[in-house]
Amino acid sequence: MAAPKYFQQLEGHAIFRPSGELKLTKMGEMVTAAISYARATGERRLMVVLTEVTGYPPPKLTARYRMVREWLMGDRCGACFRRGTAISGVYRNDCRSI
């Protein structure tokens, strides 16, 4: 399994830092793939940095909920937490307020 584009494995953690203009759904799919890859490779810590992604307005609360739920549930309903993968995120300023 090849690492997703923008995915870096470093000593003790991994970083997923996409950049450029993306649709919200594409960005969500890319984060999902990065989380799945981290799980599959046994990575225990993943930092998702979305500060350089543009192309969509700040997502509404329901869209945020759906994306985060997908990221946390993944393909095995909480496997992320059972396997001990910690996920942190950094987002654009205009996406922080709920």
For residue 67, being part of any structural domain is answered with: yes
For residue 1, being part of any structural domain is answered with: no
Q: Which domain holds residue 32?
A: 7-91
The CATH number given to whatever domain includes residue 48 is 3.30.750
For residue 47, being part of any structural domain is answered with: yes
Q: Number of folded domains in the chain?
A: 1
Q: Which long-range contacts (C-beta less than 8 Å, at least 24 apart) are formed by 12-17? A: 12/45, 13/43, 13/44, 13/45, 13/46, 13/47, 14/38, 14/43, 14/45, 14/46, 14/47, 15/46, 15/47, 15/49, 16/46, 16/47, 16/48, 16/49, 17/48, 17/49, 17/52
Tell me the per-residue pLDDT of 11-26, one tens digit each, with 9 for 90 and over: 989 999 999 999 999 9
Q: What pairs with residue 93 in β-bridges?
A: none
- What pLDDT, on a 0 to 100 scale, did the predictor assign at position 59? 84
- What pLDDT, on a 0 to 100 scale, did the predictor assign at position 93? 58
Tell me the per-residue pLDDT of 54-86, one tens digit each, with 9 for 90 and over: 888 888 889 888 888 887 776 554 444 445 566
For residue 17, being part of any structural domain is answered with: yes
For residue 36, being part of any structural domain is answered with: yes
CA distance 29 to 14: 18
State the amino acid at position 74 in one-letter form: G
- What pLDDT, on a 0 to 100 scale, did the predictor assign at position 70? 82
For residue 18, being part of any structural domain is answered with: yes
DSSP state at residue 89? E
For residue 98, being part of any structural domain is answered with: no
Q: Is the pLDDT of residue 3 over 90?
A: yes
For residue 64, being part of any structural domain is answered with: yes
